[in-house]
Amino acid sequence: MRLPIVAIIGRPNVGKSTFVNRLAGEQSAIVYDQPGVTRDRTYLSAFWRDREFMVVDTGGLVFNDDTEFLPLIRQQAMAALAEASAAIFVVDGLTGPTAADEEIATWLRQQPVPVLLAVNKCESPEQGLIQAAEFWNLGLGEPFAVSAIHGSGTGDLLDALVTYLQPVQDIPDIDEIKIAIIGRPNVGKSSLLNAFVGEQRAIVSPISGTTRDAIDTKIERDGKTYLLIDTAGIRKKKNVEYGPEFFSINRAFKAIRRADVVLLVIDAIDGVTEQDQKLAGRVIEEGRACIVVVNKWDAVDKDSYTIYDYEKHLQERLHFTEWLETIFVSALTGQRVEKILELVNQAAEEHKRRVSTSIINEVLEEAVRWHSPSVSRSGKQGKIYYGTQVSTQPPTIALFVNDAKRFNDNYRRYIERQFRQQLGFKGTPIRLFWRSKKARDVENASNNRAARV
C-alpha cells in the first residue's frame, strides 16, 4: 500500500528543509542559509504515533516572478500538493506575515487539500505564542508555534496532522534495485530520470547545477521495483566552493554508496572527459555495479561506423573498466531508455552473485596450467593453493598463496581476466584478496574441511 504524502509548502528561506529533516529524523534535505537551495521535490519517510507517511520538501514558492528556476519550482510544488493527503504551510515567525505569505495562503485556501500552518523559528515557547498569533489573519486556522531546529512544538502540530492521514497496515517488504544516476553537470541526468518516470519529476534546465538534492523516485516495470536516485552534477573538486554545491556533491557520493547499480551518464557530444574517468574510478572504489549511459545520442552526426568508433573511444578512455556495459540513448526522445533497465537487472544479479568454491578452483587450475606464475631471481615461484568467494556486492574472492609478494600486477590482472572470461561478472567490479599462507596451514585446513564432510 502507498504511504500518504504530506507536502511542505512555503516561500524561500523559512526553514522548510530544516523542518523536513526534523520530521524525518535525519539530515537528508540540504540546509543552507541561502534562498533557493531546494528546487526539486525530495521525498523522505516519517512517522508519528501509529501513522507512517512520506514528507515532501519543495522549493520556495514565489508567484509573479518568472526568473531563472522559479516557474519550474512552482510546478514541482504544485505536483507535490496534487498527490498530497495534507500540506504544512511553513512561515517565518521572526519576520512575521509577509505579502508573499498572504499570496501563498490565498492559493492554498483554493486547494482541496487540508492545510496546517507551522510558524517556524519560534525558539522561545513564551515569545513563540505571540509570534504565532500574528498569522491568524492568513485564514488557515490555528497557527502552530514550532522550532525546526530544536523540535519544540512539532508534537502538537503532528497530532493535528495525523487526523488527516489514513493508517497503513501490512506493507510488504519490497525487494527493490537502487539505481544512482551520476555524472558531470548538464549531461542529462534529470532528463533521464524524467524519461523513466514519464513526467517532470526533476527540474531540467541548461543551467549547470540545477539539481542539488539527491532525488529518490520509485518506479515499477515488469513486476520489479526500482529506486532511482538523481544526483547533482559532480564537477572537479578544485572548482567547488563551500556551499550548496559542496553539500550536493556529498549527497551524490552517498547515493553511489547506497546504490546497487550506478548509471554513469556521459555526454555523447563531449565524449569521455577526465572527470568522467574519475567518477568511474569512484564507482569502482565503492564496489558498485555500473553501466555507462551515453546520452544525447540523437545529437550526434552518425554514419555506419560511428557507434563502433565511439565504443573504441570509450574503451581507450575507460580502459580500466572493460567490464562495464554501455548503452547509447537519448533522454530527450526516449530512445533506448527502457533498455537500460534490462542491463540494470543483469548487473544487479552479477553484483550479488555467488560462485561455489569448486568452480573457482577449477578456473584457477586451468589459468595456472596455461600461464604459471613467474620465477623470481632467487628461484622462488608463487603458488596458488586455492580460492573461495568470501562476500558479494561486489563479488569478492580470497586467494590463498604461498607468498602474495611473488605475484606481480600483470599476473594478478591475468587471474582477474580469467575469472571474467570463465564466470562472467559483467557489469560489476570484482575484488581479489591475495593471502599469504604456509603450505602446512593449507593442508590442515583442507583436512579439516574433508573431516567435516
pLDDT tens, the chain, 453 aa long: 467 888 888 888 888 888 888 888 765 433 333 334 333 457 777 888 878 888 887 776 766 655 554 455 566 677 777 778 888 998 888 888 888 889 888 888 888 888 999 898 888 877 878 888 888 988 888 999 988 888 888 889 999 998 888 876 555 555 789 998 888 888 888 788 888 876 544 433 343 333 344 567 778 888 888 888 877 655 445 544 433 334 455 666 777 888 899 999 998 888 888 888 888 888 888 899 999 999 999 888 777 567 888 888 888 888 777 888 899 999 888 889 989 999 999 999 999 999 999 999 999 999 999 998 877 666 788 899 999 999 999 999 999 999 888 898 999 999 999 999 999 899 999 999 999 976 555 555 555 554 444
pTM of the shown model: 0.61
Same domain, 317 and 381: no
Number of residues assigned to the chain: 453
Number of DSSP helices (H) and strands (E) in the chain, helices first: 13, 15
For 242, phi then psi, to 5°, come to -65, 130
Which cell goes with 270? 563531449
414-434 residues labelled b (16+ CB within 10 A) or e (exposed): ebbebbeebbebebbbbebeb
Domain C-terminal end among 164, 192, 224? 164
Domain C-terminal end among 351, 381, 405? 351
Domain C-terminal end among 351, 380, 399? 351
Same domain, 184 and 49: no
Interatomic CA distance for residues 289 and 214, integer angstroms: 19
Interatomic CA distance for residues 71 and 73, integer angstroms: 5
Same domain, 133 and 200: no
The domain spanning residue 99 has which CATH number? 3.40.50.300
Look at the chain and report how many structural domains it folds into: 3
Domain membership of residue 146 as a residue range = 5-164
Is-contact 246 73, C-beta < 8 A? no
How large is the C-alpha radius of gyration of the chain?
A: 27
Q: What is the pLDDT of residues 391-410, one digit of tens each?
A: 999 999 999 999 888 898 99
Q: What is the pLDDT of residue 448?
A: 54
Tell me if 238 is assigned to some domain: yes
Tell me if 391 is assigned to some domain: yes
Q: What is the pLDDT of residue 31?
A: 36
Q: What is the pLDDT of residue 232?
A: 63
Q: Hey, which bits of 124-241 come out as E strands?
A: 143-145, 176-183, 215-221, 224-230
Q: What is the pLDDT of residue 224?
A: 86
